Structure 1
């Protein structure tokens, strides 16, 4: 029975169909997209923002020092002191942020199972537990990056073994610590998801064994984000527990309190369990809503849970080890209590994450906004003052720009001239390539005849033959186009490049002209003629089946053309209805509409007669025999048969190859004519790119010359340039302060506003 229950417990929630578990797998205790990540994300975000603020303060501090050392009367001594004072403040805030963690404190009467609840959440027996008053002092469990756990006591940095917790914190130990003392257990983060997410657990002695509640609250509760009151399902909520949380509520504004009715597994032994549960619920909810007034009714329903920490711990320990839970360890209906425990963890994670973000980061965010605001004011004053000084000096340099303006205007005119030249040459290239390609298409039959490869009508071998034919046509056409066009075009490109260089060199100083000629490409430009015959003729389908040249269909094709014969045989006049100018290639010329109708009628009559019964056939044969004579018919038939046999015997592989090549030439020619414009346009585009890139490199050299002129002009303008740098830097730092303020506002909107 326990093995079956254990397998049920390790099932995925999606298989169980339990939506309330929030995507949690109870078997391994992990959640997809844990709510604790909200705090981790917020912590990372606020740390990143303050890191940016720290870098910004360092950058601003350096900028202020540079301005002060330059001797410019821009920033006052008072503003300088303001900026330098922020560095220490930001570093202090960053140290606090790095230590901030989510803290949950567990309270309750003696032996209610506080330590067991923590162990179940941590999935390990870390806290001391047992019968009666077990935990004697405060125990804080936090994560460490170390691979082994250890503990620290107050006033000592010496790590101790985890096993010594039983002597230091157990109530029955003779070397136990004081009740208000703290033992820190540092447990490896790799072993616990909650510790990895910066959650800190604080276990406390029973609140019914001490009168020092006020000191407890002041020492351990003021920075807690969530309080968990662990009650005993076998007893009602006591006044001692109420008094403690009344004191907590008096010191903290609306503390987040969860109430766990532990040991609910005993309910399976009671017949009135539902009534007891309702009694506990009513009393606990009335305490949270009416007495403490920390939550409303809707929220209070998510703060009360009936669980069995012992069952959760036992089950999880065995699941993590991969062993079945022993029979008798889990009571009947434990799945419901496990789901209740999982729901508590989910709501607890949501609550502590949001609460911690609000309490830990809100004040730091306000301080960050104050810092960025004050620094922005300093940068705004610096920016305004530097603008005023720059404007005073600008009048001294305007007359130096005339030569530079003239060079810019001439370059603009030259650019337009070169563009016109390139456009004209591109059009000429397109015309020449189109003409050459059309000529090559007309000579395609000769090119195909030159293709000498073994031909076989087998389908697989024929496919290989076609692929080689495609490659042959593409390579030969490309080679012929290069021979006819490339030499002339390359010479024209070279001449154009030289003209551009000469025109531009006339505008530049003598010392830069040699650099200009170096911008012309040293290698010869090559035009790529991309024909891609394989894809272009991919749909080519040959017809090399034997066709008797004097058969009825062939005779009709010779008399009327293939399309007209087909239409006549089918009784269609669609091809006849078109005028001769639209007749397809291969149709028989000279036939009128009347002739086609007559031939169609004759063929239809003949087909009707010959398709009837054998008696009709014999009758027709008899009529012909009587009219022409049997000898004539026999001789004619023999000659007709010999002619058929001759053509059938001469239909060899060579004849099939000739037919294939003829069909291929017709098909490829039609396809190649379709890409004449595309190919010529592609070649012209290559020429345009080559000339444009050359001119761009020449213009780059011209830009270098312009910059050199600017540097010569600015010899007397160093003060203005320095002022401009100061102005731009002040503007950048001012804008960065605005950006940091926006980031802080975004953090507030994303994390603080939503968490309230």
Structure 2
């Protein structure tokens, strides 16, 4: 054996250093140089897809916030938010965030997973150790690995072990106790042990690859459970077979089950322990036999590749030699004699070739299996969001057009209402003015007519009359009330009906005129504003206060007495002035009815001579009896005593007759006559005031009614103005919605193009 070892080594080293040159010439074989590009495909794709989904996540959050604000915002005038975005679409957008978060969480954990299967003692653990360039997994003769062992990279500098039943890390030395079939403390066959190996010690682990070692598939019938638990997320399966035998039914059965659960799994077949071929004859025929069997299994039975590619999935290696060589090369220690059999260089190259193709395959396969589904889901989400935002954009633009039309309608209504209100206000003011003048004219005419008929009205007053002052005051009070009541009733019967009908007609005209310019839905409310009770005109004559200064004179006055004669000659005003002057000169007080006549003294200039005579006469007769006798003597001498006696007798009889007929009834007639004269003069003074008061009442009634109507019109105007402001706000909001939806739609297009670019770069078959 010694000669067989050194001979190939010498042929590899021209320097003749048989002890060192052979193994050291293979130091760089399988050290990873030139293979970073294959594994970097997955790393770059993972980084790229994570960046894209980060952008998609931000986009989904932005879209969700946009939709939430849209749903929570105040509806536009005449628009419900469901018209902008349907509740179904809002719920769809709301659910995207959790989906993207789930995808990102999975993407962060995604790695390239390689599962090693084979029968017991075929060298599965040794192959993994050789690929890791470290003797990490326990290996040996017989049934060694009792459970599943997963090797993955860790950022820690110290290796550790994790089991499913505990989160506490264990020492790497515990792996034999936990995983070895020879250990009394071994775990169950379907248990998983995770070895966290420092990434800086292994290039493959740095490139997001994890290795899963399995127990021999011939020691347990629970293949289905193994596949479901550990294989469904695997990217590459490495079947480690024994080159000393052909594929067994157990191995085929296992991969048939894998193929039934996974669509075309990536399978590599390692014919391990090929170093024994150096001891066999017709080795080429044996190798071709293995190739035919394996090709038939992969291409015809599993149908995962075609026959040409199936040949490239079969490798003849010696994992033990690769591990020994790499351990020695990495430490710089020469490989000891009697370890490597002749032809080991070719087997090492074959192992390195397997690694090259394996890395290319796992990188491409992992990119496809890990990211293709996520990419499709991302496309679906961006497509749905683009569709939702497109609908929102289209709907918001449509609503903008309808809102713009509605705003124009409201603006036209407001402009029409303002102009018509201005025109109506002028018309109503003119109508009220005309009606007020008509009322004033009618009331003044009716009141003058009633004043002329006042004597009849007073004569109708039938109450017991007594000249006693106390009883007379009561009589006057009742007479005042009677006159005021009857006058008011007569005025009401003559004027109120026509006036109230005119007021009602005018109010109806105002209401109809105003309702014609108001919206249909407010017209009924307008008619409800009309007064529910009839308007009544109060004439407010108030005779009691008006005639409060009335002073009756029911003392007996002889018809042909000096005062009466003076009144007949000069009139009541002139005689009153004369008597007032006489009384003043004699120091006698005047009656209360004589005071207003003081202003008529200017009217006596035309009767100065007669006034002087009568004044002198009155002066003489009022001073002494001697004067009277003297006058009587003069008259007697002129006319004779008989004439004087007869005249005196007639004068006395006339006086006596009048004096005897001056009864209570006569006093009442005198009182009423005086009252009529006084009340008529007073009532004539308030004709204008009363008519103005009535017209003012009518004006107030019409003005207040029109004010109430206008208030309702103002309410409508303010509502239109508020609608315009709200419509402007809604238009701005819809513009913002359209702008936001368009931006989000464009972002969806951009993200979709990013996903398409990712597919073109990483997911297209080369």
TM-score (norm 1): 0.53
Q: Does the Cα contact within 8 Å between 2:239 and 2:270 map onto a contact in 1?
A: yes
Shift of 1:737: 1.0
Shift of 1:129: 0.6
Partner Cα distance (1:27, 1:103) in 2:
20
Shift of 1:343: 0.8
Cα 1:241–1:719 change in 2 (3 A) is closer
User: Which residue among 362, 385, 394 is the counterpart of 1:384?
Assistant: 394
2:756 is equivalent to residue 753 of structure 1: no
Quote the residue 1:65 is aligned against.
68
Quote the residue 1:40 is aligned against.
43
Cα 1:382–1:244 change in 2 (3 A) is closer
2:58 is equivalent to residue 49 of structure 1: no
Write out the 4+ residue segments of structure 1 that deviate beyond 6 Å after TM superposition. 392-397, 716-719
Q: Does the Cα contact within 8 Å between 1:152 and 1:158 map onto a contact in 2?
A: yes
2:133 is equivalent to residue 130 of structure 1: no
Quote the residue 1:28 is aligned against.
31
Q: Which runs of 5+ in 1 are unaligned?
A: 11-24, 398-713
Partner Cα distance (1:257, 1:731) in 2:
48
Q: Does the Cα contact within 8 Å between 1:148 and 1:188 map onto a contact in 2?
A: yes
Quote the residue 2:232 is aligned against.
222
Q: Does the Cα contact within 8 Å between 1:232 and 1:262 map onto a contact in 2?
A: yes
RMSD, matched Cα? 2.5
Q: Does the Cα contact within 8 Å between 1:28 and 1:319 map onto a contact in 2?
A: no
User: Which residue among 311, 316, 323 is the counterpart of 2:321?
Assistant: 311
Quote the residue 1:263 is aligned against.
273
Quote the residue 1:97 is aligned against.
107
Alpha-carbon displacement from aligned partner over 1:103-162 (angstroms, at most 9, x marks no partner): 111111111111000000011011001122111111111111111111111221111011
- SS of the residue aligned with 1:174? coil
The structure having more radius of gyration, on CA atoms, is 2
Matched length = 425
Partner Cα distance (1:289, 1:754) in 2:
19
2:58 is equivalent to residue 76 of structure 1: no
Quote the residue 1:346 is aligned against.
356
Quote the residue 1:8 is aligned against.
25
- SS of the residue aligned with 1:209? coil
Alpha-carbon displacement from aligned partner over 1:551-570 (angstroms, at most 9, x marks no partner): xxxxxxxxxxxxxxxxxxxx
Q: Does the Cα contact within 8 Å between 1:27 and 1:319 map onto a contact in 2?
A: no
2:166 is equivalent to residue 156 of structure 1: yes
Shift of 1:383: 1.8
Quote the residue 1:290 is aligned against.
300
Partner Cα distance (1:314, 1:255) in 2:
31
Quote the residue 2:211 is aligned against.
201
TM-score (norm 2): 0.53
Partner Cα distance (2:129, 2:44) in 1:
26
Cα 1:384–1:281 change in 2 (3 A) is closer
Q: Does the Cα contact within 8 Å between 1:86 and 1:371 map onto a contact in 2?
A: yes
Quote the residue 1:441 is aligned against.
none
Alpha-carbon displacement from aligned partner over 1:514-553 (angstroms, at most 9, x marks no partner): xxxxxxxxxxxxxxxxxxxxxxxxxxxxxxxxxxxxxxxx
Q: Does the Cα contact within 8 Å between 1:113 and 1:262 map onto a contact in 2?
A: yes
2:384 is equivalent to residue 357 of structure 1: no
Q: Does the Cα contact within 8 Å between 2:121 and 2:144 map onto a contact in 1?
A: yes
Shift of 1:65: 3.4
Shift of 1:47: 1.6
Quote the residue 1:545 is aligned against.
none
Quote the residue 2:7 is aligned against.
none
Q: Does the Cα contact within 8 Å between 2:259 and 2:302 map onto a contact in 1?
A: yes
Partner Cα distance (2:91, 2:218) in 1:
56
Partner Cα distance (2:324, 2:242) in 1:
19
- SS of the residue aligned with 1:734? helix
Cα 1:30–1:391 change in 2 (3 A) is same
User: Which residue among 118, 127, 134 is the counterpart of 1:117?
Assistant: 127
Quote the residue 1:645 is aligned against.
none
Q: Does the Cα contact within 8 Å between 2:24 and 2:329 map onto a contact in 1?
A: no
Partner Cα distance (1:224, 1:208) in 2:
21
Shift of 1:275: 2.4
Alpha-carbon displacement from aligned partner over 1:384-431 (angstroms, at most 9, x marks no partner): 23334555788999xxxxxxxxxxxxxxxxxxxxxxxxxxxxxxxxxx
Alpha-carbon displacement from aligned partner over 1:608-650 (angstroms, at most 9, x marks no partner): xxxxxxxxxxxxxxxxxxxxxxxxxxxxxxxxxxxxxxxxxxx
Quote the residue 2:745 is aligned against.
734
- SS of the residue aligned with 1:180? coil
Partner Cα distance (1:36, 1:304) in 2:
21
Shift of 1:92: 1.3
Cα 1:735–1:3 change in 2 (3 A) is same
- SS of the residue aligned with 1:34? helix
Cα 1:80–1:193 change in 2 (3 A) is same
Q: Does the Cα contact within 8 Å between 2:85 and 2:392 map onto a contact in 1?
A: no
Partner Cα distance (1:389, 1:280) in 2:
73
Q: Does the Cα contact within 8 Å between 1:107 and 1:227 map onto a contact in 2?
A: yes
Cα 1:726–1:259 change in 2 (3 A) is same
Alpha-carbon displacement from aligned partner over 1:250-307 (angstroms, at most 9, x marks no partner): 2322221111111112222233322222222222222222222222111011110011
Shift of 1:193: 1.4
Shift of 1:69: 5.0
Partner Cα distance (1:738, 1:34) in 2:
31
Shift of 1:70: 4.7
Partner Cα distance (1:249, 1:726) in 2:
51
Q: Does the Cα contact within 8 Å between 2:56 and 2:751 map onto a contact in 1?
A: yes
2:336 is equivalent to residue 326 of structure 1: yes
Partner Cα distance (1:310, 1:95) in 2:
39
Partner Cα distance (1:2, 1:298) in 2:
41
- SS of the residue aligned with 1:152? strand
- SS of the residue aligned with 2:167? coil
Partner Cα distance (2:387, 2:326) in 1:
58
1:655-670 correspondence to structure 2 within 5 Å: none
Shift of 1:189: 1.4
